[in-house]
Amino acid sequence: MLFKKRAPKPTTAIEFLAIGDTVVDEFIKLKDATVNCNVDTDACTISMRWGDKIPFESATLLAGVGNSANAAVAASRLGLASALMATIGNDRDGELIIDAFSKENLDTRYISRAPGKATNHHYVLWYESERTILVKPEPYDYSFPKDLEPPKAIYLSSMGEAGATYYADMATYLEKHPDLFFTFQPGTFQMQMGKEALAAIYARADLLVVNKEEAARILGVTDTEIPELLTMLKRLGAKRVVITDDRDGAYASEGSTTFHVPMYPDIRPPFERTGAGDAFASTLTAALLLGKSFKEAALWGPVNSMSVVQDIGAQKGLLSRKALEDYLKKAPAEYAATDSN
């Protein structure tokens, strides 16, 4: 199927350019499964009867999601001129993605369409409030545009196997534009490449955001506590480093200052947890671009994380700036950034 003819590309200057894959997520809500967890660990598995017909409760299709796409939508809802650089197929799923982005006022000038390739389509097995995602990244030919008009910020996250040349070209571009704010939220393939292969990307980051498990994977360590993980990640060169730790909130470091921010209190039990990390990292970045201090911006992130887990998928619960600021006004006194030096 060919794409419909569309209006000319907009010329508005981009403030927030997210780079990474976008996908169609198909949520399959299970009703008959068993979860088993190892004693004293978070290592859990989900199981269903083998060789049987398994009933499910519902199936929901969400187009235009993925780490970077979620970030771009979050920034757009917070009032920034936002765009996504990604590759999609020339198929029905690709058309659904373009339509979804247009509804979010997302600039699509940097969306490329790969002839003969399918759009990434993932299946999300959703049970209670957690999910397991079945992924199959499509093999796209990635090429970083050396003549890219500089946005105010670039937000890099999960991509397929782009290869070292892609990131070398990006690093060269970022070096030529030192005033451009750069956030790195590494995805699976980027972490698999190793910190040495992406040393220039880590070193150029104005903001590096990972969770505790990802930090250990990047650094190749085990049984290491967050203060030491922060110190080790800072040695990679990023100006600001944030490590999230699930229900324990997030720990942040800038220069000689280290602080902790708690989770924003849930307004009700989480409905589905997809996208909480993306909401945190992108909202933190957006707040910095809007002129907030690092501590203020770090308090914005958990609000959007709290909100996004109240709905299915990684985008429906993302807040406008006014709604987010209203939550901050209603925050309890203990919701504050606390120095941990």
DSSP string, 108-176: -TTEEEETT-PPPEEEEEEETTEEEEE-----------TTPPP-SEEEE---S---HHHHHHHHHHHHH
Domain span at residue 26 reads 16-339
When the pLDDT of each residue in the chain is averaged and rounded to a whole number, the result is 92
> Which of 36-40, 43-47, 207-211 has the lowest average pLDDT?
36-40
Let me know if residue 135 belongs to a domain: yes
- Residue 122 reports pLDDT greater than 90: yes
Let me know if residue 220 belongs to a domain: yes
Let me know if residue 11 belongs to a domain: no
Q: Cα–Cα distance between 55 and 33 in angstroms, integer?
A: 10
Q: Average pLDDT for residues 178-188, to the nearest whole number?
A: 97
| Domain CATH code at residue 194 | 3.40.1190.20
Report how many domains make up the chain. 1
Let me know if residue 9 belongs to a domain: no
Let me know if residue 10 belongs to a domain: no
Q: Cα–Cα distance between 278 and 314 in angstroms, integer?
A: 8
Let me know if residue 7 belongs to a domain: no
Model's pTM, two decimal places?
0.91
Let me know if residue 5 belongs to a domain: no
Let me know if residue 176 belongs to a domain: yes
**In this prediction, what percent of the chain has a pLDDT beyond 70?**
96
